C-alpha cells in the first residue's frame, strides 16, 4: 500500500480513544509524524506505544488556553503542520437532564472553540497543501432527546468548517465529516476483547446493512487529506451508511411508534 502520508506532520485532538485512536494509529502506520492530545493519560500512553516511535502524546485539556498554546509550541517547534484533525468532543446531556451553564459551555469550548483556536494558532504555520478535517456528526442534522450540548457543538463545528474554508483559502483546505453510528467499542483503554452484539434491526436500519466502524472514518479522513480531494473544501461528508437518507414512518420497514413509551 502506498504511503500517501509518509513524513507528513499530523495533529489529532482526542486521539487516545475511539475514532481518534483509530486515526492516530492509521496515520502512524502510514509513516506520518503524529502528535495527538487527550485528557486520558493511560489511554494516550497506550496509543502512543501502539503507534510506534513516530508518535507523540500530549496530555492536556484543550478547553484551556494554556494547553492550546503548549500544543502549538510543541508541534510548531519541529516544522510546519500538514494535517489538523479536530476530533475531540464529549456530551454532557441536555435540557432534560439538567445540563448546566458550565457543562454546556465546556462542550462548546471543546468542540468548537478549540478547533477555531488551533486553526488560528497554526494559520501561519501550515505547510503548502495543508488540510483541516473537523469531525462533526450526523447529529447536527437530526437529534435524540436530551442531546443539546453535543448536538450544538457538532452543529457549530459544521458551520465553522465552511467559514474557515473561505478565510483560509490558499492556506489550508477545510472540510468536515459527519459520522453516523460508528462502533468504537474496543478502541478505548480497558476494552480489549470487546465484541459487539447487534440485532438484525441495528444492521438493517442502515441501507448498507451494517453498523459503521472507525476504519470507515479513517478512510474518509485519508481521502479529504489526499491530493485526490484537492478541489474539495468547505464541505461536510456524511458517513453514516445511508441512515440519514432512510425515511421512517410508523408501521413501515418493521418500525412502529408507541407514544405510551415516551
> What is the full DSSP assignment across 192-220?
TT------HHHHHTSTTSS-B-HHHHHHH
Q: Is the pLDDT of residue 1 over 60?
A: no
For the stretch 127-155, pLDDT in tens is: 999 999 999 999 999 999 999 999 999 99
C-alpha 143/C-alpha 151 separation (Å) is 7
For position 74, what pLDDT does the model report? 98
Residue spans of the domains in the chain: they are 9-261
Q: Is the pLDDT of residue 15 over 90?
A: yes
Task: For residue 220, name the pLDDT band (cuts at 50, 70, 90).
Answer: very high
For the stretch 34-44, pLDDT in tens is: 999 999 999 99
Q: Is the pLDDT of residue 197 over 80?
A: yes
8 Å CB contact between 52 and 28: yes
CATH architecture of 9-261: 3-Layer(aba) Sandwich (3.40)
Answer yes or no: 150 catalytic. yes
Stated pTM of the model: 0.94
Average pLDDT for 117-130: 98
- Which is the catalytic residue, given 101, 106, 150, 257? 150
Amino acid at each position: 500500500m502506498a504511503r500517501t502520508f509518509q513524513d507528513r506532520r499530523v495533529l489529532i485532538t482526542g486521539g487516545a480513544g475511539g475514532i481518534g485512536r483509530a486515526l492516530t494509529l492509521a496515520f502512524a502506520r502510514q509513516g506520518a509524524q503524529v502528535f495527538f492530545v487527550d485528557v486520558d493519560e493511560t489511554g494516550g500512553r497506550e496509543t502512543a506505544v501502539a503507534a510506534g516511535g513516530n508518535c507523540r502524546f500530549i496530555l492536556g485539556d484543550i478547553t484551556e488556553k494554556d494547553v492550546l498554546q503548549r500544543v502549538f509550541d510543541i508541534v510548531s517547534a519541529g516544522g510546519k503542520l500538514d494535517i489538523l484533525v479536530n476530533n475531540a468532543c464529549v456530551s454532557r446531556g441536555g435540557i432534560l437532564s439538567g445540563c448546566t451553564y458550565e457543562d454546556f459551555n465546556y462542550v462548546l469550548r471543546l468542540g468548537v472553540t478549540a478547533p477555531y483556536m488551533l486553526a488560528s494558532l497554526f494559520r501561519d504555520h501550515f505547510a503548502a497543501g495543508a488540510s483541516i478535517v473537523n469531525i462533526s456528526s450526523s447529529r447536527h442534522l437530526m437529534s435524540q432527546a436530551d442531546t443539546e450540548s453535543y448536538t450544538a457543538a457538532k452543529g457549530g463545528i459544521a458551520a465553522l468548517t465552511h467559514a474557515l474554508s473561505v478565510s483560509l483559502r490558499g492556506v489550508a483546505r477545510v472540510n468536515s465529516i459527519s459520522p453516523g453510528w460508528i462502533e468504537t467499542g474496543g478502541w478505548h483503554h480497558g476494552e480489549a476483547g470487546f465484541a459487539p452484539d447487534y440485532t438484525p434491526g441495528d444492521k438493517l436500519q442502515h441501507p448498507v446493512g451494517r453498523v459503521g466502524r472507525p476504519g470507515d472514518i479513517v478512510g474518509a479522513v485519508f481521502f479529504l487529506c489526499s491530493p485526490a480531494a484537492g478541489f474539495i473544501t468547505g464541505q461536510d461528508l456524511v458517513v453514516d451508511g445511508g441512515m440519514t437518507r432512510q425515511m421512517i414512518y410508523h408501521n413501515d420497514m418493521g418500525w412502529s411508534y408507541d407514544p405510551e413509551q415516551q
